[in-house]
């Protein structure tokens, strides 16, 4: 097994981009789950008429304040990872395959040979085919 003690800056950026991508995906799923856990604004009216159950898991006030704070923190993390990934994407030091290949220009096609003689006329209906 070979250990690399010195990494090039390009390798460090690749590893950092991979780490930010993994964190970004996890934050995306976490944000979706937290938003889906929150109750809608119309849920309080339904509970007033006996349609709701008591929310003892998050306390008597419900999960409103707790989930709102977590949503804010996760949304900020989402923005930070999004901006970081955009920065890493726009400041790549590597080159593209398309930029390395020189442009190849094809020579113009040669004109078709023209035979001098009798011009070709369209076939007449009912005429026998020429051999």
Q: What is the pLDDT of residues 14-34, one digit of tens each?
A: 888 899 999 999 999 999 999
Q: What is the pLDDT of residues 29-75, one digit of tens each?
A: 999 999 988 877 665 555 555 555 545 555 555 556 888 899 999 99
In a domain, 86, yes or no: yes
Show the CA angle centred on residue 79, arms to residues 64 and 89, nearest 5°. Answer: 160
In a domain, 24, yes or no: yes
* Domain count within the chain: 1
Domain that holds residue 66: 7-34+62-93
- Tell if the pTM clears 0.85, that is, is over it: no
Q: What DSSP string describes 53-78?
A: ----SS-TT-SHHHHHHHHHHHHHHH
**3-state SS class at 3:** coil
In a domain, 16, yes or no: yes
Percent of the chain with pLDDT strictly greater than 70: 58
In a domain, 121, yes or no: no
Rounded-to-integer distance, Cα 27 and Cα 24, Å: 5
- The half-sphere exposure of 29 on its side-chain side, counting CA atoms within 13 A, is 5
In a domain, 107, yes or no: no
Show the CA angle centred on residue 74, arms to residues 26 and 61, nearest 5°. Answer: 125
In a domain, 29, yes or no: yes
């Amino acid at each position: 097994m070979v250990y690399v003690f010195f990494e090039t800056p390009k390798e460090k950026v690749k590893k950092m981009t991979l780490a930010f991508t993994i964190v970004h995906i996890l934050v995306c799923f976490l944000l979706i789950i937290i938003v889906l856990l929150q109750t809608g604004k119309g849920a309080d009216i339904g509970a007033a008429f006996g349609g709701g159950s008591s929310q003892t898991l998050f306390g008597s006030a419900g999960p409103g304040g707790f989930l709102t704070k977590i949503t804010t923190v996760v949304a900020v993390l989402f923005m930070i990872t999004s901006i970081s990934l955009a920065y890493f994407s726009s400041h790549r030091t590597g080159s593209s395959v398309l930029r390395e290949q020189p442009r190849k220009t094809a020579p113009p096609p040669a004109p078709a040979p023209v035979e001098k003689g009798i011009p070709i006329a369209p076939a007449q209906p009912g005429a026998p085919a020429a051999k």
